[in-house]
Structure 1
Amino acid sequence: MNPQVNIASDLTITVRRVIFFVLSLGTALLMLYLVHQTLAVTIPTIIRITILGLFALTLPWMVVGFWNAIIGLLICQCVKDPITFILPKNMQVRDTLPITSSTAILLCIRNESPARLLRNLQAMLEDISQDQLGSFFHVYVLSDTNEVSIAEEERASFEEMRKNWSPQIQITYRCREDNTGFKAGNIADFCQRWGKDYDFALVLDADSFMASSAITRLVRMMQANPRLGILQGLVIGLPSTSPFTRLFQYGMRLGMRSYTMGSAWWQADCGPYWGHNALIRLHPFIKFCDLPVLKNSSGTPYSILSHDLVEAVLMRRAGYEVRIYPQEDLSWEENPSTLTEYIRRDLRWCEGNLQYRNLLTLPNLRLVNRYQLVLAITMFLGSPAWIFLIFFCTIAYGLSVNPSALVNIDYLSNLLIVTLLMWYLPKITGAIDVLLQTSKSKLFGGRWRFCINLVLEMVFSLLMTPITWLNHTIFILGLVFGKKGGWSGQTRDDHSISVAQAVHQFWPHTILGLGLSSLLYFKHPEALPYGILFFGGLLFSIPLVVITSQPWLGRFMIRNRLLSLPEETIPAKELLPLQLSALQVSENTLHNT
């Protein structure tokens, strides 16, 4: 199929992208000018260029997030119906549009708890069944499990589920003997065996959960738009009892809507694909989205870890649209339960994103897609840039007899304030969106409680950010010197981190934070509060990791309605079959108040 091109729509998208590029480039240049003015004229040229170069590496994600958030907030507040403003007309379909396409639901798993998988899948199938749409869906449980005991339990459990649901909804379980290509290889194996039998595939991770209405909305939109190759649903975090998860996904929830709405405005048909909770059109996916094989310096082939963006780029190169539905729509995932688990997942993404450097020269890619690949790379390269900036600037400032000979203090204060504002703006715009709507504020516990929670999250984010920067830096240096990353399973259940475990993993953070803090304290104590804003998380990394993993703190948060998501105020009926601990504790708390 050769998709038809809408010239008028393409012109509008081009204008939007030019506007966004000009705004982003202008902001980046202004920030670099501010850094240039902050540095004293006596600074040697080589040092000035180094500092400007490092700061430039930190800017892409910061500037893009800044303008995504502003544009998204303007759309959410000034446009009567943001969805109709963002999506093309042929995706604005009614819920009554008949479903005629066949969809394979792909549940990709590896060494996961079968009980959790069965719970989520059972609830999803019951929801689909109630809508009497089971005949249009076929579930494929695609297992890469290599632990024998788990594989045996999986096989028995899903066989029983298959019997229980047949013939209403078909379920197929398959376990590969080796996980060549990781998750992308898992899906590729499905495509080779069964892909030609279906129109679409709904890709789910082990921690995914989607309501029937969210699934069928994606299907209806893809049916209505034959140019649509990938449709990503907006994913939100499931309510959790873990303190870390509650803190992390509270901020993520605030920044997500305005950020995603703003990015959808200019990315449009070159939108994101996150690899789960998304619908793909199988024919072009099979034909055009086969991942290239990469080779290291010694010529040894290796698999792409972060496959999702690459598949989106290849789909767009083939002439098919990749879009996101930028509105919360009963589509969930579980976030990591501790900072250690979060970092483990993040480092896997780090390695995958850095592989994109080998794909920048792929032929016939759209300019926007090349930009997205570069942006994904700088997402993690910005971390060592921040660490080196913090280290060298603090050392230079601390050892200087006269700091005013190094920097213009007035400009430095302005630079710090503007940088922090740009960091936090996606969350600030989300907060403004909530505070301006009484109904939405009530879902977050009311305006006063919401503001308290916002401050808690921002302090947590300020502490957590430099910790992840240093982890990225250490990991990237390891990759440079030949250390291998890889793909491992996650510990999804709530669990506490002992002091000994935290010390073992985060002693480098503590030593660096202690050293930088001590230098400023003894040499220039007036600068210490400013330094703590940027490296305080390193100093307090061990207690932060331990405290945010404690179950008692999670229970305290729920009882006092701290960092509660809207689902904890008014639980979605689709979540009730999951019997989530956070919802049960929250419901008891609400009944007792």
Structure 2
Amino acid sequence: MPPVRRRLIFSVLVGTTMLALWLLMYRAVTPMALTPMGLIVLSLYTVLLPWLSIGTWNAIIGFVLLRFRVDPLASLLPQAVAHAAHADQDQPITASTALLVCVRNENPTQVIRNLSLTVDGLVQAGAASFFHLYILSDTNDPQLAATEALKFEAFKATAAQEIDLTYRRRDINEGYKAGNVHDFCERWGDQHDFALTLDADSFMSGSAILRLVRMMQADPQLGILQGLVVAMPSQSGFTRLFQFGMRLGMRSWTMGSAWWQGDCGPYWGHNALFRIKPFTEFCKLPLLKPDRFGPRHILSHDQVEAVLMRRAGYHVRVMPLEDASWEQNPPTLPEFVQRDLRWCEGNMQYGELIRLPKLAFVSRIQLVLAMLMFAGAPAWIGLMLCAGVSATMTSQLSSAFNIDLLKLLFVATLVLFYLPKIASAVDVMCSKKQRMAFGGPGKFLLGVFIETLFSLMICPIMWFNQTVYLGRLFTGRSKGWVGQTRDDHSVAWLSAVRLYWLHTVFGCACLIAIAVNLPHAFVYSLFFLLGLAVPIPLAVILSWPSVGRWMTLKGVGQLPEETMPPKDLLLLELPALLTRQV
């Protein structure tokens, strides 16, 4: 089916869903006439409809492809590219590929551990001569920079017989990670055909890298090829639950979105391959309007680079199947929030880029959706605030709202919000092989249940943080690029109180108002307000090593890599895998 027809079908499905939900909400808030409170609720809910409806149909289409297509890739990729994805040693490697590892104030020992195994995989495949490893450092801590230089130079000496390796540290970190990559393109880009981007916490097997290279070799118009990234097994309680939910959500979501996005696919900035010549020529990022500190650089560079590559006439695609490509997720709630807010700031910068000339229509839609992913947070918080305020107006509720329709809309919204995870869970349960990969039906369903409770509590916490942060952005306050703590650690009670006291006050106030004035609605309110009442104990308890170790031993949030650990991951000696072997 041509991409234009797919996008037309998808637009009709999404538009119909948005209209149906909007009409249901309109009828719910106008039993007699539209009141000021009803108008506010209707407006806030309208903001949520695009993201909610698109997620719904991504999930449904993805589920159909996963469940009823023997070879989903054949429906998503050009024939030559899909064939290359299945090829093992049939197609020789002919292109020169640079492996780009971007680091900034990272633990060099962990980076070297991951890279050593990747290089070993390329050597065993007899393809290492076609690759050159570049460690591109933006480290600005002098003491860490000195240690980093010593360790990477030592690694270079030991790896010299297996692969070419270059280590470079920039003194001026202009443009953050995107600037780091483009500095490589300008210095060494003409020596290679492709480049594979890896973050400090990325790990890809040699076979996964070779598959991406073969796929790009098969299509000269392929500019960026994003591999599907999944999480490494973790022993952090918070991370286990988060990445279990992400694993479910990504399966159907990515497959469904690839169906209609086609050659205007996503780029996530790591575990992806790009064609160097057009990337260098067409994907250098523009500067944003200056603030009081001077010109501003784009933080969320990846999607902008994707739309610029597409504007240049090259395809941007994702291979939406799990393929030995991993990343590490933040170990605690505070670290996760910090990363999320950096993405929030970066995505909201897209408002200045939507009107770039000659962008594909789908590319503009993608930039808008990236903004809506975070712009929806104030709408969710506003709806919660409306619920709390409305609870104090019980005498007017029957005239302001149709309670039966609100209940129906509440259930429909909740189901559609979680449909990507529901679709993936059904797909897993329909396959004995997949059920057993997740530890068996019992462990899998227990994990789905616990992760659903976890997600119900985490989502409002994230919405609250994003809402407050968006307010700060509009007043000119920015965090910029902040380093991450990747190692497991405990969150102190006082730290959690300092970070989440405002969330707790807001959540408890709304819950108390509803419990006192509208007790029959209290159970419904827990779905979206409970998380805001308990972020402090949630952040602390899920960071305790004892909780994470217990969850690992009991298989809570168990991933397929823990059931049948791949050889590559076993060599990393991850604590989660070592604990399960005890």
TM over 0.5: yes
- Is it true that 1:34 corresponds to 2:24 in the alignment? yes
Report the Cα distance in structure 1 between the residues aligned to 2:326 and 2:367, rounded to whole angstroms.
Answer: 26
Q: Corresponding residue for 2:473? A: 479
Does the Cα contact within 8 Å between 1:479 and 1:485 map onto a contact in 2? Answer: no
Does the Cα contact within 8 Å between 1:397 and 1:406 map onto a contact in 2? Answer: no
- Is it true that 1:556 corresponds to 2:556 in the alignment? no
Q: CA deviation at 1:63?
A: 1.2
**SS at 2:418's partner residue?**
helix
Report the Cα distance in structure 2 between the residues aligned to 1:167 and 1:196, rounded to whole angstroms.
Answer: 23
Runs of 4 or more consecutive aligned structure 1 residues displaced over 6 Å after TM superposition: none
- Is it true that 1:108 corresponds to 2:102 in the alignment? yes
Q: Corresponding residue for 2:454? A: 460
Report the Cα distance in structure 1 between the residues aligned to 2:205 and 2:186, rounded to whole angstroms.
Answer: 28
Q: Corresponding residue for 1:395? A: 389
Report the Cα distance in structure 1 between the residues aligned to 2:110 and 2:481, rounded to whole angstroms.
Answer: 21
Q: Corresponding residue for 2:51? A: 61
For 1:238-249, list aligned pairs within 5 A. Answer: 238-249=232-243
Q: Corresponding residue for 1:542? A: 536
Report the Cα distance in structure 2 between the residues aligned to 1:380 and 1:564, rounded to whole angstroms.
Answer: 29
Between 1:32-41 and 1:105-114, the stretch displaced more is: 32-41
Q: CA deviation at 1:132?
A: 1.4
Deviations 1:126-176 (A, max 9, x none): 111111111101010000001112111111111111111113201111111
Report the Cα distance in structure 2 between the residues aligned to 1:171 and 1:299, rounded to whole angstroms.
Answer: 37
**SS at 1:301's partner residue?**
strand
Give TM-score, length-normalised by structure 1.
0.96
Q: CA deviation at 1:297?
A: 5.8
Letter in 2 for 1:143: S
- Is it true that 1:313 corresponds to 2:307 in the alignment? yes
Report the Cα distance in structure 2 between the residues aligned to 1:296 and 1:394, rounded to whole angstroms.
Answer: 40
**SS at 1:204's partner residue?**
strand
Unaligned runs of 5+ in 2: none
Report the Cα distance in structure 1 between the residues aligned to 2:373 and 2:58, rounded to whole angstroms.
Answer: 15
Does the Cα contact within 8 Å between 2:26 and 2:42 map onto a contact in 1? Answer: yes
Does the Cα contact within 8 Å between 2:205 and 2:325 map onto a contact in 1? Answer: yes
Report the Cα distance in structure 2 between the residues aligned to 1:584 and 1:409, rounded to whole angstroms.
Answer: 52
Does the Cα contact within 8 Å between 2:63 and 2:256 map onto a contact in 1? Answer: yes
Q: Corresponding residue for 2:367? A: 373
Q: Corresponding residue for 2:10? A: 20
Letter in 1 for 2:162: Q
Between 1:57-66 and 1:416-425, the stretch displaced more is: 57-66
Q: Corresponding residue for 1:129? A: 123
Deviations 1:421-474 (A, max 9, x none): 011100001101110000110111111221111000000000000000000000
Q: Corresponding residue for 1:140? A: 134
**SS at 1:100's partner residue?**
coil
Q: Corresponding residue for 1:567? A: 561
Q: CA deviation at 1:53?
A: 2.1
- Is it true that 1:167 corresponds to 2:157 in the alignment? no
Does the Cα contact within 8 Å between 2:224 and 2:272 map onto a contact in 1? Answer: yes
Letter in 1 for 2:256: G
Q: Corresponding residue for 2:64? A: 74
Unaligned runs of 5+ in 1: 1-10, 589-593
Between 1:323-332 and 1:73-82, the stretch displaced more is: 73-82
For 1:406-485, list aligned pairs within 5 A. Answer: 406-485=400-479
Q: Corresponding residue for 2:250? A: 256
Does the Cα contact within 8 Å between 2:105 and 2:483 map onto a contact in 1? Answer: yes
Does the Cα contact within 8 Å between 2:300 and 2:346 map onto a contact in 1? Answer: yes
Which one of the candidate residues 348, 351, 355 is aligned to 1:354?
348
Report the Cα distance in structure 1 between the residues aligned to 2:400 and 2:375, rounded to whole angstroms.
Answer: 26
Letter in 2 for 1:181: G
Letter in 2 for 1:331: S
Deviations 1:293-339 (A, max 9, x none): 11146693100000000000000000000000010000000011011
Deviations 1:20-43 (A, max 9, x none): 011011101111111111113445
Q: Corresponding residue for 1:4? A: none
Q: Corresponding residue for 1:499? A: 493
Report the Cα distance in structure 1 between the residues aligned to 2:50 and 2:34, rounded to whole angstroms.
Answer: 26
Q: CA deviation at 1:393?
A: 3.1
**SS at 1:104's partner residue?**
strand
Between 1:517-526 and 1:240-249, the stretch displaced more is: 517-526
Letter in 1 for 2:46: A
Which one of the candidate residues 186, 198, 201 is aligned to 2:195?
201
Report the Cα distance in structure 2 between the residues aligned to 1:399 and 1:122, rounded to whole angstroms.
Answer: 64
Report the Cα distance in structure 2 between the residues aligned to 1:129 and 1:239, rounded to whole angstroms.
Answer: 25
Letter in 1 for 2:378: P
Letter in 2 for 1:69: A
Distance 1:48 1:403, change over 3 A: closer
Does the Cα contact within 8 Å between 1:264 and 1:324 map onto a contact in 2? Answer: yes
Q: CA RMSD in A?
A: 1.2
Report the Cα distance in structure 1 between the residues aligned to 2:398 and 2:97, rounded to whole angstroms.
Answer: 65
Report the Cα distance in structure 1 between the residues aligned to 2:520 and 2:37, rounded to whole angstroms.
Answer: 24
Between 1:553-562 and 1:230-239, the stretch displaced more is: 553-562
Report the Cα distance in structure 2 between the residues aligned to 1:393 and 1:526, rounded to whole angstroms.
Answer: 13
Q: Corresponding residue for 1:192? A: 186
Report the Cα distance in structure 2 between the residues aligned to 1:74 and 1:368, rounded to whole angstroms.
Answer: 23
Q: Corresponding residue for 1:154? A: 148
Report the Cα distance in structure 2 between the residues aligned to 1:191 and 1:262, rounded to whole angstroms.
Answer: 33
Report the Cα distance in structure 2 between the residues aligned to 1:382 and 1:404, rounded to whole angstroms.
Answer: 28
Report the Cα distance in structure 1 between the residues aligned to 2:151 and 2:474, rounded to whole angstroms.
Answer: 43
Q: Corresponding residue for 1:7? A: none
